[in-house]
Structures are given as C-alpha cells and as structure tokens.
Chain A
Amino acid sequence: MSRIAVTVNGVRQERDVEPRTLLVHFLREDLGLVGTNVGCDTSSCGACTVFVNGESVKSCTMLAVQADGTEVTTIEGLAPAGQMHPMQEAFQQYHALQCGFCTPGMVMAAVGLLNEIPSPTEEEVREGLEGNLCRCTGYHNIVKAVLAAAGK
C-alpha cells in the first residue's frame, strides 16, 4: 500500500492505496465520488475525464499514486452543491445529454477545452472533444451547448 494525499474538489484526502489502483477507482470507490464514469478500458471514451491540476485527463489512465500531491476536480466539484457551472447549464438548455453516462466526462472535457480555447470555432469544438464518445446525442447539441457556453 502507498500513502497518498490528493486534494479533491478542494478537500484534502489522505488514503492508503494499492499502487495498481486507478485514479478513477480511487475517486469512485475510496472517496465515493461516483459521478465520474468508466466507459471503456482503452482510454478511448473519455467518460472518466477529470481535471488534474486544472487540466483534463482520463482518470482511467492514471494511477492514484501518480496523483499524489495534485489537485483533482471531478464533476461533483465543478460548481458548488446545488448550483450548475455555465457549461452544465448550457448542456441542459441545449439538450446535450440523453442517458447522461458520458456527460460528466464530456462536460469536464468541454470546460477544459474552453480553458484553452475560450472562443472556439465549431470545428475546434469537434476536434477538442475528439477524446470523448457519446452514443446518444450524435454530438449535435453538445457542440451547440459548448459554443453557447463560450458566448457564441
């Protein structure tokens, strides 16, 4: 077991973990933050996207021990409890989710995209979300929501 300390959604969390524990399983099973989902085992789908030190990463492709000392933000911590981040509001307004399973990762990836490209074109949004798969929406409304959240 390895002792790690990770600040998750602003709260410092210290735990003993097996080195093989993936960050996503640490978040889901050790911390009970089950909003972050796992949709594949090949780093393809992006459902598990969280922020590590402010940047989007696939939490299935990172060991919890590698996150020692970092600041992690999950979908639960994107906005204060009971409120929604403007990206979350745009997703609801534009019906950018159906089953909701890819949604936490998609929202995190979208917020990360706007952090890097504040006013993207439609093509930049599509390319910027290349690492997140959705099977319900055909992406149409996701793209609209992200452009709307960017103030377009």
Chain B
Amino acid sequence: MIPAPFDYAVAESVEHAVQLLGSSDDAKIIAGGHSLLLLMRLRMATPSLLVDVGRIPGMSGVRDAGDRLAIGARTRHHDVHHDPLLREHCPIVAETAGMIGDPQVRHRGTIGGSVAHGDPASDMPTVLLALDADLVLQGPGGSRTVPARDFFTGFLETALAPDEVLTEIHVPKTGDAWSYLKFQRRSQDWAMVGVAALVQRSNGGVGSARIAFTNMGLTPVRASAAEAAMAGASGDGIRAAAEKAAEGTSPPSDTNASADFRRHLAQVLTRRAVEQALAR
C-alpha cells in the first residue's frame, strides 16, 4: 500500500521534465498516476525519482489542427470524454475515454499516461492504433512524431525513450462509421477483449475497415486479415470476414479467459463492432 521511498520533482516545463528525466537512471513521469501508482503501491515499480508533469502549463486540452485534432497528453479521460471537438470530429476517442476505469479514475487518469504505459489491455491505445494516430514525443534533441503503429513495441514497452515526454496525440478528423466494443466481466475492469472498428461505408456495406484489438497480444494489434476480408463486405460477408479476426493475434490466457476464448470473442466482437458502426 505504501510505495518505496523516492525523490520527487515538479517539472515547470516540458524541457525541464526532459532534463529531470535525464538526471536519474530510474526516473519516471507521473501525471494522473493511475498506471504508475498502482504498481508503486504494490512495490512492483520502485522508481528513484518521480517527475511530476501535472503542473506544466499547456499540456492538456484539445485543439483543432486542420485535418487533425491535437490532444494534450495530460488531458484527463473525463475531459477527453466530454470534449466537443472530439465528439464532433473523432467520436470514437471521446466515447472510448468514457469506458476507461470508473468515474474517479477518469477524473485523474490521462490519455498520455494510458498511452505511455503501453498496456495491451488498455482501451485507448487500441483506438489510436485503429485511427492511425500520431504521437508527439519531446526529448533532449527536440521533438519527433511516431505513428501509433510504431509506438507500441512490447508488453508495457513503447518507443518512448527514458528521457522523452509524450506531449501530444494527433488524431484525424474522421467521418468513418465507428465502434469500440469492450468485453469485460465487471464494468470497472480492463477489457477481456476490446475491438475498435472504423468503417468507410459503401453501398450500405463496408468499403474499407480499420480494426484493432485490445488484449489480444503483447501490444494493441491491428486485425490485418479481417481488415482485408472486410473490404467490400456486406451482410453475411461481414460475418465471414469477422471469422478471420483472430488471425495473427497471440492473446494471453489468464484467470478471466483462455487465449482460445479470446480468439472466439475477437471474432464475435469484430462482427458486432462493424455491424454496430454501420448501423450508427
């Protein structure tokens, strides 16, 4: 319940945060703390220095960036959920944010924290992967942009260097039909399996679809085989395409479900997600 001792520093700017991160071998960023503090309380994470980015001005909120929206990394799930720009131009992000954790968690947890933690059971990374979002990272050498596709590198591992700060998330303004289905046993739980679907309609069916999974591997994953099969599908064709959903995935087995059952769920949920998107 009580974390091991650590040093604590308040970053006054992103540059300051980068500098602080570089000053210690085992420094970690804390924003909302809803990924890191969980591990620290169980002493599964024992960073020597916590760099608090919670007071850096300008890191939260959503701004219009032309054909994209730029979401500040420290924007809380609650604010992502209610943001009018997201609701208008990228509703899948807003809706998914409302499914994360519970109200108290959404009042503290941030989109950047959720993404930077790299947990394949988290919802938002999956949605960003499906959206082909871009992540803006700032380090000692300046800023770089990494596509979501390249960001999630392993279980709790990302392209973020130890002395980099995730500052912004860029998502496209999209008119695609969409759905995020989260299969969970309890409302507050992480997804047993989650499916994000973005569908371009064509003649009442699917023109093309982008589909990604939560908790179907070590990272959030795109359902490439199902995406290919879904192109041009309608009616029973959607069902057939969805049967390819689990191809190429390597889901975990745990106390909630076996890997095989997750594969089954991925198929059912993929079909339902595409159908729900089309019906929306």
A and B touch in their complex, CB below 8 angstroms: yes
The digit string for A57-79, where 1 denotes a CB below 8 A from any CB of B, is 11011110110000000000000
A49 touches B33 (CB 8 A): no
Q: How far is the CA of A127 from the CA of B186 in the complex (A)?
A: 10
Interface residues in A21-54 (C-beta closer than 8 Å to B): 22, 25, 38, 41-44, 46, 49, 52
Give the chain A neighbours of B33 by CB distance below 8 A: 61-63, 66
Give the chain B neighbours of A131 by CB distance below 8 A: 101-105, 188
Q: Which of B36-44, B166-174, B229-237 contacts A (4 or more CB under 8 A)?
A: B36-44
B50 touches A128 (CB 8 A): no
In the complex, B34 has a CB within 8 A of chain A: yes
Give the chain B neighbours of A63 by CB distance below 8 A: 8, 30, 33, 37, 50
Q: A43-B38, A65-B8 are in contact. Are A22 and B104 (CB under 8 A)?
A: no
Interface residues in B154-188 (C-beta closer than 8 Å to A): 186-188
Distance in Å from the Cβ of B166 to the closest Cβ of chain A? 19
In the complex, A107 has a CB within 8 A of chain B: no
In the complex, A149 has a CB within 8 A of chain B: no
Give the chain B neighbours of A118 by CB distance below 8 A: none
A19 touches B37 (CB 8 A): no
Tell which of B4, B54, B107, B187 touches A55, judged by Cβ atoms closer than 8 Å. Answer: B107
In the complex, A109 has a CB within 8 A of chain B: yes
Residue of A nearest to B34 (CB): A61
A2 touches B41 (CB 8 A): no
Tell which of B7, B37, B54, B188 touches A61, judged by Cβ atoms closer than 8 Å. Answer: B37
Distance in Å from the Cβ of A129 to the closest Cβ of chain B? 8
In the complex, B5 has a CB within 8 A of chain A: yes
Q: How far is the CA of A53 from the CA of B108 in the complex (A)?
A: 11
Residue of B nearest to A44 (CB): B188
A41 touches B41 (CB 8 A): yes
In the complex, B52 has a CB within 8 A of chain A: yes
Q: A41-B42, A43-B34, A130-B188 are in contact. Are A109 and B8 (CB under 8 A)?
A: no
In the complex, A113 has a CB within 8 A of chain B: yes
Q: How far is the CA of A42 from the CA of B4 in the complex (A)?
A: 16
B2 touches A20 (CB 8 A): yes
Tell which of B42, B54, B78, B188 touches A66, judged by Cβ atoms closer than 8 Å. Answer: B54
Distance in Å from the Cβ of A27 to the closest Cβ of chain B? 14
